[in-house]
């Protein structure tokens, strides 16, 4: 079972690396999808460069939403911040329900074309899973454990750092992983407002009616999402073992 999983992982990673490094080698595979001698492999830029730019955007946006959402989640579960819970929840939910395309449309007039509208859209879109999981994680701390921590004389900060956060960590990490993976897909939309990313390949395919391009953009994005999800899950297990929550 484990061997099979590792074989699948390595195969996926190898395929992605090979395709991004020497995409032209895969031309015969995609040629049947093109018509009238159109290029079977995206040729308006480096696929590797686009993939890296795509990832950089997603990582930056997710990191920012993780920091904000975890901080906010901690704040609203403190006694002093409890009254802000409904308001924060509403705001974060708006971030999630507002379609990223709409966020892009609103952001462009404000910050111009390029990476920024995408970063803003992804940031807003990534808040909810982390925020809700942070709250759920912190609230999952058994009341008796919290009471014992108080009763033994841990200060509020000590209780948070030594007890509540370690116990909430599995859920928080899961929320971040979810945000990251969702954002890898969503980030393709950024190319409509001139952010560098794999969306470019898909849009180029749509404009020139080139199915091979569309498939390439989609497959690379999808493969990255699956591999990252898997890698993060593995990293989480290690981290949790290190802090011994698992």
Residue 37 in the binding site for another protein (CB under 8 A): no
| CB closer to another protein out of 22 and 148 | 148
Q: How far is the CB of 172 from another protein (least distance, A)?
A: 14
Residue 145 in the binding site for another protein (CB under 8 A): yes
Choose one: 53-61, 71-79, 97-105, 160-168; the region binding another protein (CB under 8 A): 160-168
Name every residue whose Cβ is closer than 8 Å to that of residue 117 and which is 6 or more positions away in sequence: 103, 104, 107, 108, 111, 190, 193, 195
| CB closer to another protein out of 67 and 82 | 82
Residue 155 in the binding site for another protein (CB under 8 A): yes
| CB closer to another protein out of 5 and 243 | 243
What is the helix, strand, coil percentage profile of the chain, to 5? 85, 0, 15
Residue 5 burial (C-beta neighbours within 10 Å; 0-12, 13-18, 19+): exposed
Residue 238 in the binding site for another protein (CB under 8 A): no
Residue 147 in the binding site for another protein (CB under 8 A): yes
Name every residue whose Cβ is closer than 8 Å to that of residue 152 and which is 6 or more positions away in sequence: none
Residue 80 in the binding site for another protein (CB under 8 A): no
Residue 163 in the binding site for another protein (CB under 8 A): yes
Residue 158 in the binding site for another protein (CB under 8 A): yes
Choose one: 15-23, 94-102, 142-150, 195-203; the region binding another protein (CB under 8 A): 142-150
User: Contact at 8 Å (CB) between 122 and 185?
Assistant: no
Residue 81 burial (C-beta neighbours within 10 Å; 0-12, 13-18, 19+): middle
Residue of 152, 207, 238, 242 that binds another protein (CB under 8 A): 152
Three-state DSSP state, 60: helix
Token code pair at residue 188: 């393709």
Handedness of CA 223, 52, 115, 67 (dihedral sign): positive
Contact map string, positions 98 to 137, toward another protein, x by CB under 8 A: ----------------------------------------
Q: How far is CA 43 from CA 23, 106, 197, 212, in A?
A: 10, 31, 14, 12
Residue 242 in the binding site for another protein (CB under 8 A): no
Contact map string, positions 165 to 204, toward another protein, x by CB under 8 A: -xx-------------------------------------
Token code pair at residue 75: 């704040």
Binding site for another protein (CB under 8 A): 142, 144-155, 158, 162-163, 166-167, 243-245
């Amino acid at each position: 079972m484990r061997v099979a999983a590792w074989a699948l992982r390595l195969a996926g990673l190898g395929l992605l690396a090979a395709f991004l490094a020497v995409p032209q080698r895969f031309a015969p595979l995609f040629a049947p999808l093109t018509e009238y001698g159109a290029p079977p492999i995206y040729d308006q830029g480096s696929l590797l460069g686009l993939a890296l730019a795509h990832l950089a955007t997603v990582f930056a946006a997710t990191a920012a939403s993780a920091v904000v959402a975890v901080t906010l989640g901690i704040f609203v579960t403190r006694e002093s911040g409890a009254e802000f819970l409904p308001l924060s929840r509403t705001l974060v939910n708006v971030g999630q329900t507002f379609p990223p395309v709409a966020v892009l449309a609103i952001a462009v007039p404000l910050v111009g074309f390029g990476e920024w509208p995408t970063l803003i859209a992804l940031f807003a879109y990534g808040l909810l899973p982390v925020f809700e999981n942070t709250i759920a994680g912190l609230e999952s701390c058994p009341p008796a454990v919290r009471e014992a921590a108080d009763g033994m004389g841990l200060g509020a900060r000590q209780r948070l750092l030594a007890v509540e956060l370690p116990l909430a960590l599995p859920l928080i990490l899961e929320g971040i992983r979810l945000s990251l993976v969702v954002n890898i897909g969503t980030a393709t939309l950024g190319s409509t407002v001139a952010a560098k990313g794999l969306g470019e390949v898909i849009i180029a395919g749509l404009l020139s009616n080139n199915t091979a391009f569309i498939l390439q953009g989609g497959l690379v994005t999808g493969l990255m999402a699956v591999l990252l999800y898997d890698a993060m899950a593995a990293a989480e297990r290690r981290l949790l073992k290190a802090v011994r929550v698992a």
